[in-house]
Amino acid sequence: MDEYKVMIVEDDPMVMQIHSNYLARAGGFSVAERVSDGEQALAALKKEQVDLIILDVFMPKADGFAVLQRIREEGYDTEVIMVTAANDYASLNRAMKLGALDYLIKPYDYSRLEKALKKFRRKMNRKEGGQKAVLLEQREVDLFFEESEREDDLPKSINPNTIELVRRFFREHGREEYTSLEVAQAVELSSVTARKYLNYLISQQELKATVDYMTGGRPCIRYRYVSRSLGDRKRRSACPVK
């Protein structure tokens, strides 16, 4: 494909222009539609199919999540990169579950969008290559699901998106200690799943676990992010009773 067609959905004209300039700088992308709210985006998509949507979250009439959900419900095979000021875990989790290709937090720089566009190109190349074959081999199937954030492979039981959620939680709260239940609630995982990911990060020496005996009840394990730049840790409240 010579150029990929892009729709920009953004209610701030200045940000929309930044998106357009960055896409032109990247090369290989043509802005087919510029719309300022969710309803316009859905109407435009019915008229003209695009390959990629750069989608804001906070917009009038229909927010970005409502738009993305409708896109999936109506069966459009359009890739979506969300670019938004929504930097909470619930929003990130929701975007992942709805199949967003990437999630950029405003303000972002060109290098971060370029990384997202490279991910988009890789996925499109795999899609286009796969259409030539009637049957896929396992190694070809694996390529569609393979987007590890590290060069070394993760264990099969560890999802790269989920592990990044947990990592990011600790990076942003690195001066504090948390129980597995607190982590589970913060990133919307089950307690069992949270402990699995916490144990993995301990094995990678990214977290440190300590046993807290000063709870007035049963001891509990607290986890904190390991970084030389974090300084002294702060202690959280007493362990919650299960």
What digits encode the pLDDT tens for the residues 223-237?
A: 988 854 333 344 444
Q: pLDDT tier at 52 (50, 70, 90 boundaries)?
A: very high
For the stretch 76-85, what's the b/e string if a residue is b when 16 or more beta carbons lie within 10 angstroms of its beta carbon? bebbbbbbbe
Instruction: Give residue 164's pLDDT.
Output: 83
Digit-coded pLDDT (tens) for 72-82: 998 888 999 99
What topology is assigned to 4-140 in CATH?
A: Rossmann fold (3.40.50)
Phi, psi of 225 (to 5 degrees): -75, 140
Q: Are 183 and 166 in contact (CB under 8 A)?
A: yes
Residue in 103, 210, 120, 108 with CA at minimum distance from that of residue 164: 103
Average pLDDT over residues 24-52: 93
Question: Range with the lowest mean pLDDT among 8-12, 97-101, 132-136?
Answer: 132-136
Digit-coded pLDDT (tens) for 200-224: 998 888 888 888 877 667 788 899 8
Q: Which amino acid is at 160?
A: P
CATH 1.10.10.10: does it fit domain 148-242? Answer: yes
Instruction: Give residue 138's pLDDT.
Output: 65
Residue 186 has pLDDT above 90, yes or no: no
Instruction: Give residue 163's pLDDT.
Output: 86
Q: Which amino acid is at 232?
A: D
Q: pLDDT tier at 242 (50, 70, 90 boundaries)?
A: very low
Q: Which amino acid is at 159?
A: N
Residue 62 has pLDDT above 60, yes or no: yes
For the stretch 155-182, what's the b/e string if a residue is b when 16 or more beta carbons lie within 10 angstroms of its beta carbon? eeeeeeebbebbbebbeebeebbbbbbb
Over the chain, what is the mean pLDDT?
Answer: 82
- Residues with Cβ < 8 Å from 34, sequence gap 6 or more? 7, 8, 10, 16, 20
Residue 188 has pLDDT above 60, yes or no: yes
Distance CA 165, CA 135 (A): 34
| Percent of the chain's residues with pLDDT above 90 | 36
Q: pLDDT tier at 155 (50, 70, 90 boundaries)?
A: confident
Average pLDDT over residues 12-35: 94
More confident residue, 67 or 229: 67
Do β-strands 79-84 and 102-105 pair in parallel, antiparallel, or remain unpaired? parallel
Provide the greatest CA pair distance for the chain: 67
Reduced to 3 states, what is the DSSP secondary structure of residue 60?
coil
Instruction: Give residue 148's pLDDT.
Output: 43
Q: pLDDT tier at 27 (50, 70, 90 boundaries)?
A: very high
Distance CA 177, CA 16 (A): 40
Domain range summary for the chain, segments of one domain joined by +: 4-140, 148-242
Q: Could you check whether 4-140 and 148-242 share the same CATH topology?
A: no
Q: What is the per-residue DSSP string for 97-157?
A: HTT-SEEEESS--HHHHHHHHHHHHHHHHHHHHHTT-SS--HHHHHHHH---SSSSPPPTT
